[in-house]
Amino acid sequence: MQILIFGAGAVGLGLANCLIKADHTVHLIGREETVSALSIDGLERTGLFGDFHAPPFAFSAFCNLDESESGPYDYILICTKSYDTRNAGEMLAAAPQLKTDRTQFVLCQNGWGNAETFAAFFPTEQIKTGRIITGFRRPKPNQVDITVHADAVHLGSLYDDDLEPLEPLTRALRKGGLPTKITEHIEKDLWSKMLYNCMLNGLSTLFGVPYGRLGESEHTRELMSRIAHEVFDIIKATGHNTHWDSAHDFLIAFYENLLPPTYQHEPSMLQDIRSHKPTEIDALNGAVVALGKKHGIPTPVNQTICSMIHFLTSQFERE
């Protein structure tokens, strides 16, 4: 298969490495520093699921879409940060040689609203969504370290029931060492991840601690409980669904099953703040706030988290 990875950050490199290991043709679009390192030293994977090194000749990496003469692609995996989703859609829409009416765009990003953004550029039957709760870390520009794996990658669609086009990609990721399965319940999965990320990412970033530390304090547990209840209010108001009927049920599962495996994990948002980069807060707690305003649902704690993260990022602009 011909596969394009749009966004060569930690997630993009993690997925690319698995697909290269499964003997598929992979091209990456990334920043200049990353592309240079990949072209010289290849792509290295360490951590969970074993080590694997893909030499430079096993794949291609480019800074711009017009540098690649390949295509059309069977799959285009969108692995940018959520704040770059619209830009990715615009760039891909302006490159018709990269796709056909059978190309599947798979959004492998955090947050809510990415599929809606992409639907402004491509038919909904070509838009698929991935839920990834594997921890990918990038110690070096050409290295991805898999630190946490809470569950298999889930692939599905928010728009239709035709999931057969995802079968070859699912098999390829499995062959490359990453547990993956197709689901008819990707909406529930995404809102489950939204609950998890909204409760943990902002607070972990603000306090500079791994996830598990937040669960040890009554003060942060109270904040996380309020966030969860606000998110459930939004889920109900918007007609969406998740795997639990109430915030109470989710919180039991959260503390018993979901938080312990990721006790030492730090979110990419904290890493972004440390590197003075933008964050995905607007696609997480910010998306909850936006939907709350649209439907008349108060979300004061999510709003506070957003405001505090925005304050941190605004300080970078003053330096």
Give the residue numbers marked as catalytic. 193
- 155 and 180 in contact (C-beta within 8 Å)? yes
Q: At what angle do helices 10-21 and 167-175 cross, to 10 degrees?
A: 90
Quote helix, strand, coil % in the chain, to nearest 5: 50, 15, 30
For residue 223, CA distances in Å to 17, 96, 307 come to 38, 47, 15
Burial class (CB in 10 A: 0-12, 13-18, 19+), 219: exposed
Query: Starting at the edge strand that comes first in sequence, how are the strands of the sheet with 2-6 ordered?
Result: 60-62, 25-29, 2-6, 75-78, 104-107, 127-131, 153-156, 180-182
Query: Starting at the edge strand that comes first in sequence, how are the strands of the sheet with 134-140 ordered?
Result: 52-54, 43-47, 143-149, 134-140
Tokens linked to 64: 């711009």
Q: What is the 3-state secondary structure (H, E, C) of 103-126?
A: CEEEECCCCCCHHHHHCCCCCHHH
- 199 and 227 in contact (C-beta within 8 Å)? yes
- 134 and 153 in contact (C-beta within 8 Å)? yes
Dihedral sign of CA atoms 207, 212, 217, 223 in order = positive
- 308 and 206 in contact (C-beta within 8 Å)? yes
